[in-house]
Structure 1
Amino acid sequence: MKLPFFTYDVFTSRSFAGNPLAIVEDADGLSTGQMQIIAREFNLSETIFVRKPQDAANTASVRIFFPTAEIPFAGHPTIGCAIHLAQKKYKPGCAFETTIRLEEVAGLVPVKVSRIGDVPRAQFTAPVSPFAVEVAAPAREDIAAALGLSASDIGFEGHVPGVFKGGPAFLYVPLASREALARARVIEPHWSNLFSGLGTRMAYMYTRGGDGADTAYRSRAYAPLDGIPEDPATGSATAILAAQLLAAERLAAGTHRWKLEQGYEMGRPSDLWLEADVADAKLLAVRVAGQAVQISSGVLEL
């Protein structure tokens, strides 16, 4: 069996930045075990497998894998795959606007893709409106020990740690400064102990500001227990961050927009755009946007 594959750098407009992604086409004949082995072979944070859609009105059915396990939804595979499939429909250099509809395990994900200029841009609507998980967040002292920080580094203004979910779940850790964010690192056994009973093994740290004048937050994401020591850009965590921001800032009704930076500390600068529609102190819709560039292509031989 020979399967075409492509790699993209996602949430960036230039090569060798952003978050690398592997896309495997014609994956209908693959078993779950084979997909997992291939994802482990690529050893990227995520690999997405493209299959024929169950509903002809949609573009494709996809499955997404960490090196260690399948996940129901992820942002950077959704953005990268949608851009890849959209570009196949149009001649190089031609401007376009289209909608790619991806059947993911978490649900149907519509993605608006456009290309005006050289680098395409995509925006997905999260398939699940993010919400707070009814579990007590770890104590600040325990989080600080797991990140090599002090308890005073944890939290700022109305932002406190919490667990939120929207497909996957994340422990959200607001940090008081960019200096603390830069110092944060995984410390065992405190890290593994931190996630007992939380329903997630992934943490997303963020603080105000960034290199860009229009950047609202700088972030980092760690999931070493899932084979991802640090993720350069985490679209799903960015989408779910809307629920954390809703709780922390008591967002008013209307549409809110934020630019976020991630991956800068690890030399893979990534830029993400988050939008959230709010009414009556509830999230109505959450959208995440970014760019992507193709890096390589080839054939898998099974």
Structure 2
Amino acid sequence: MSLLPFSTVDVFTKTRFGGNPLAVVRGGEGLSDRAMQAVAAEFNLSETTFVLPPADPAHTARVRIFNRTEEMAFAGHPMVGTAFVLAAADPGLATVTFEIPAGTVEIKIERNAEGAPLGATVAAPQPLNLGETVAPEVVASMLRLAPGDIVVTSHPPILASVGNPYVIAELSEAALSRCDPDLAAFRDALAAHPQFGTRMSVHVYCKHRRTLRARMFAPLAGTWEDPATGSANAPLACLLLSLEPGTDEARFEIHQGVEMGRPSLLDVTARRTPDGIRATLRGTCVPIMKGEIDCG
């Protein structure tokens, strides 16, 4: 019998049972990919991470991220939450470097005056990469909206990534609360765009200057709606900065999870750099559970 310690934390919130829950499993070097996926499905959260020894001893850990159905190259709330769990176990930890499939992620720990961890700031592993546009009618169909609910004055719906791709679309404020994912329409959209991978994740938002409200839907990956999505809000912030050619840096306050009853707050900054537009995202965490999982 193999018992592995795990912790769960709520990420991008200061309130217990708010934000986006994450399970962090320590160890598991001997687990197969299939076993890790089974553990993630058992937790049934948006993501579960496994903290493993790094390939490079100069780094803190290799971290594998699984949603309910597959491994992910990068995800924001798992980076913040995993760093928070490690910081709680090591009072001297100030920065961490994680190896993930999308690259190397640098994370700064935030602590209070007593030294207890509060949260972390994550540098996304890749600069903004913009892909194909998607017809407003396709996004509207997936979310049971009218095509006119999709705002295209700033940009059309477009595939964007800083390590994990999302279709990003702006909505009217009234339409944001009316989103209702249509699973069949998601399947049809993916069949028409197989180059988008297996998830066909849609991130929608409305904005008032630098304050945004957002929702993310990935029902084909088992996440009907996500309460906080760092890997979607980071490219969103980069995309918005790209639309302001005279601006070198922009900071956004992004609210997500409101409609789910799990309000989340993400602080995302996008910056122009020599290799493209890059993002950092900051969030706080609340510890919830600790235990052991029997991996057989």
Cα distance in 2 for residues equivalent to 1:119 and 1:76: 15
Of 287, 291, 296, which aligns to 1:294? 287
| 1:2 is aligned to 2:6 | no
Of 176, 194, 218, which aligns to 2:172? 176
Partner of 2:204: 205
Q: Mean Cα displacement is larger for which, 120-129 or 282-291?
A: 282-291
Partner of 1:104: 100
Q: Give 5+ residue unaligned stretches, structure 1.
A: 91-95
Q: Deviations over 1:30-55 (max 9, x none)?
A: 11111001001001010000011122
**Residue identity matched to 2:248:** G
What is the 5 A alignment of 1:134-153? 135=132, 137-153=133-149
Cα distance in 1 for residues equivalent to 2:276 and 2:130: 12
Q: Provide the secondary structure at the position in 2 that maps to 1:173.
A: strand
Offset, 1:254: 2.2
Offset, 1:156: 5.0
Identity %: 38
Q: Provide the secondary structure at the position in 1 that maps to 2:84.
A: helix
Offset, 1:190: 2.2
| 1:257 is aligned to 2:251 | yes
Cα distance in 1 for residues equivalent to 2:184 and 2:54: 43
Q: Provide the secondary structure at the position in 2 that maps to 1:238.
A: helix
Q: Deviations over 1:262-285 (max 9, x none)?
A: 0001100000011111258x7343
Q: How many residues are aligned here?
A: 288
Partner of 1:93: none
Q: Deviations over 1:173-220 (max 9, x none)?
A: 11021x2100011124222222331514100010014xxxx9610000
Runs of 4+ in 1 over 4 A off after TM superposition: none
Q: Provide the secondary structure at the position in 1 that maps to 2:151.
A: coil
Partner of 1:275: 269
**Residue identity matched to 2:180:** R
**Residue identity matched to 1:109:** V
Partner of 2:126: 128
Cα distance in 1 for residues equivalent to 2:58 and 2:154: 44
Q: Provide the secondary structure at the position in 2 that maps to 1:54.
A: coil
Q: Give 5+ residue unaligned stretches, structure 2.
A: none
Scaled by the length of structure 1, what TM-score is found? 0.90
Of 219, 235, 242, which aligns to 2:214? 219
| 1:87 is aligned to 2:85 | no
Scaled by the length of structure 2, what TM-score is found? 0.92
Of 249, 260, 266, which aligns to 1:266? 260
Offset, 1:29: 1.4
Cα distance in 2 for residues equivalent to 1:140 and 1:40: 33
Tell me if structure 2 keeps the 8 A contact 1:164–1:243: no
Cα distance in 2 for residues equivalent to 1:37 and 1:251: 46
Cα RMSD, aligned residues only: 1.9
Offset, 1:138: 2.6
